[in-house]
Amino acid sequence: MSTWEAYLTDVRFSFRKQKESAEKALVQVSDENFFKKPGEFSNSIAAIVKHVGGNLASRWTDFLTSDGEKPWRDRDGEFLIGPDDTRQKLQGVWEKGWSAVTGALAGLGEADLLKKVTIRGEPHTVFEATHRSLTHTSYHVGQIVYLCRLLTTGEWKWITIPPGQSKKTGKGSYLK
């Protein structure tokens, strides 16, 4: 495997792990807490899910051939939750964004990594744009996991190594 193939394999893996981590947290939060804003100037889990889905759909749709900020995207609207924004609808926005990522990444090869793409008119290599998106997504997945943990009532199912298990070797149930 070439270095570039290893890179693409790792990026695909990293995006997949981010999605899995968020979804393991999301299933643990009630609908009420999914929409709850923990503070006046905070985003709800719902708003972050909506934003990540919209961002990924915009960035990764026609990734190599159009600007990553699509004219149809309403970034400001991603942070507003209206009466039509049900949990099921927002799950659809989330899935649409992740489908765009996985589809675009599946089609990338070594020859694509140094090609230029634009995001808001700013040129990036595919390599740079991929890192930009992964970093942005990871930031928001961390917020989702934190808020789910904060707002979940009842027993939390650990996504990472549970407290007191750091010295345990091998694959624990938390890694499945």
Start-to-end Cα distance in the chain: 27
What residue segments make up the domains of the chain, in order of their start? 3-175
* pTM exceeds cut of 0.75: yes
pLDDT at 64: 97
pLDDT of 169 reads: 60
DSSP per-residue codes, 95-136: HHHHHHHHHHHHT--GGGTTSEEEETTEEEEHHHHHHHHHHH
For residue 119, CA distances in Å to 50, 52, 69, 83, 161 come to 19, 16, 6, 31, 36
Domain 3-175 has CATH 1.20.120.450: yes
- 68, 121 Cβ separation under 8 angstroms: no
CA-nearest of 6, 7, 2, 3 to 127 is 7
Q: Could you list the mean pLDDT of each consecutive 10-residue stretch along the chain, which spans 176 residues? A: 91 98 98 95 97 98 97 97 97 98 96 96 97 98 97 91 80 48
| Length of the chain as a residue count | 176
For residue 148, give the amino acid letter.
C
Q: Say what the pLDDT of residue 173 is.
A: 47
**Do the beta carbons of residue 133 and residue 56 sit within 8 Å?**
yes
Give me the pLDDT at residue 175, please. Answer: 44
Cβ-in-10-Å burial (0-12, 13-18, 19+) of 104 comes to: buried
